[in-house]
Structure 1
C-alpha cells in the first residue's frame, strides 16, 4: 500500500508548512523538528484508509524554506506580493502489486514537481497561485492551483478556512488514472483521461500554546473531476484527509 503512505507524507508536510506560513511574521528563522500524523481516504479501488505517524525536519530562513522534501525560495517581494520558486514531490504513483485493480499494469512512478508560486496578502486574506511541472518527465504533466484562505485570530489560536481549485492537464491525469490499450482486461477497460478540474475545501487550526511549539490540525475535502472519477481505476469522486502536527524550532 505504498501510495497511502506517500499521500499521508504529502498531507503532513503541507500541514507543517501551513503552520509556519500562517504565523510567518512571528516565526523565527532556523531549523525545526517535530512529528505529525495524517489520515487519507483513497479513491483508487482496493485501497482503505491509512494512518501514518511521521517525523518532521525542516528549516526556515529569510528566503529559503525547507519542510521535509518541500522546498521554496523567495525570488522577489513587493509589499504584500511575493514570487517564489518551489519544489515538491508528487506522491501519486503505484505498483501492480499495490492493489488487484493494478494487476498487469505498468508502474506509475512518483515524481518531482517544480515551478513558480505567487502570494498576495491583504490583512488576514491570502491569495495563492502556482503552476508546477513534472521535472523528472514521468508524466510530463502540469498542474495549476489557485487558493484563497482567511485567518481568524482568537488570541493565540488561528483558524483558517481555505478553498482551492486546481487544473491538472491531460498528460498528468492520463498517466496516473488512464489505462493503456495493452493494459486493458475484461474487468478493466482501456481509458484515456482528459484534463481535470479539482476542488478542495479545508479548515485548519494552529496554536503555539502546547508544549512550546506550533500545533496544527485540520481536515480537507477534495472533489475530483469527472475524467478522474470515471477512470476504471477509481471508485470514488471525493476524498477526505486529516492531519495533526507539532513542530518546534531548535
Structure 2
C-alpha cells in the first residue's frame, strides 16, 4: 500500500481538516468553547512519481478554550490579542503542527534504494489580522525534531461571505520553504544515485495556492466544511527527479461538533 506524502499540500490539508472544520465557529462573535469531536477526509493529487492521489481520513478530537486550541495534533496558544483602529483585531499565537511528509523506499519504484524521509513536528509563531470580513495571517514554523532542519513561512489572505447559514471563504496564499526542508523531501543524495535517478540538491521554494471553502452549521448539529485548493510548486520541487508534476489539486470535507 502506498503511503507517499507531498509535504506542503498534505500538511495544509490536514490542518484544514482539523482546524478549518471549526474556523467558522472561531470567527463568530461569540465562539463556542469546550471539547469537540468529528471526522474529516482529504484527497490530494500527488506530485511524486508513481502515485496519482492520496486519500487521508482523519478522526477529530479537540478542545477550544479562551486561549488554547487543540485540534487533533494541531495546537495553538494565544500569546497576545489587541485591537487597532486601522488593522482591526490582532492575535499572536504559538503553534505546534505535525508535518505529514516523507516516504519509505517501498512506497514507489522511484524511491527504491533511498533512505527514509521522516514525518516531523513543526513549532513556531503566527500573527493574524482580522478586520471586517478580511483575515490576513503570517506564520513561521521550524522543524522541532531536526529531521530536515528546515523552516516554512506562510502568508494567507482570506475573505468571508455569509448568506444565511452558508459561509463562503475564498483564499490566496504563498509559502516559502528553506533549502534544507525542500532538499530533505525532494533531493537525491550522492549515495542514492542510479541510472534512472540523478543526483539532485534542491534549493529553497516559493509555492502558491488558491482555494475556496464552504461552511455551514445545518447538518447533524455540527459544523460542516467543504473546500478545494489548487497548488503551484516551485521549480526547485518540480525539477526533482522524484516528481513529475508542478501543480496539484486538493479537496477536503470535514464535520465537527462540540460535546
1:45 aligns with 2:49: yes
Q: Which residue of 1 aligns with 2:25?
A: 23
Q: Could you tell me how far 1:3 is from its partner in structure 2?
A: 3.0
- Equivalence for 1:216: 225
Measured on the aligned residues, the alpha-carbon RMSD in Å equals 1.6
- Measure the CA separation in 1 of the matches of 2:62 and 2:4: 23
Separation in 1, partners of 2:133, 2:46: 33
Indicate if the aligned counterparts of 1:5 and 1:50 stay in contact, CA closer than 8 A. Answer: no
Structure 2-normalised TM-score?
0.93
Query: Matched residue of 1:3: which SS?
Result: coil
Deviation at 1:37, TM superposition (A): 1.5
User: Paired residues, what number?
Assistant: 250
Taking the TM superposition and a 5 Å limit, the aligned residue runs for 1:127-206 are 127-206=136-215
Deviation (angstroms), 1:11: 1.5
Partners of 1:168 and 1:195 within 8 A in 2: yes
Instruction: Mark the runs of 5 or more structure 2 residues left unpaired by the alignment.
Output: 84-88
Gaps of 5+ in 1: none
Could you tell me which residue of structure 1 aligns to residue 106 of structure 2?
Answer: 97
Assess if the C-alpha contact under 8 Å between 1:3 and 1:91 holds in 2.
no
8 Å contact kept, 1:16–1:216: no
Q: Is the 8 A contact 1:12 1:244 kept in 2?
A: no
- Tell me the secondary structure at the aligned position of residue 2 of structure 1: coil
4+ runs deviating over 6 angstroms: none
Residue pair 2:98, 2:122 contacting (<8 A) in 1 also: yes
The alpha carbon displacement at 1:22 in A equals 2.9
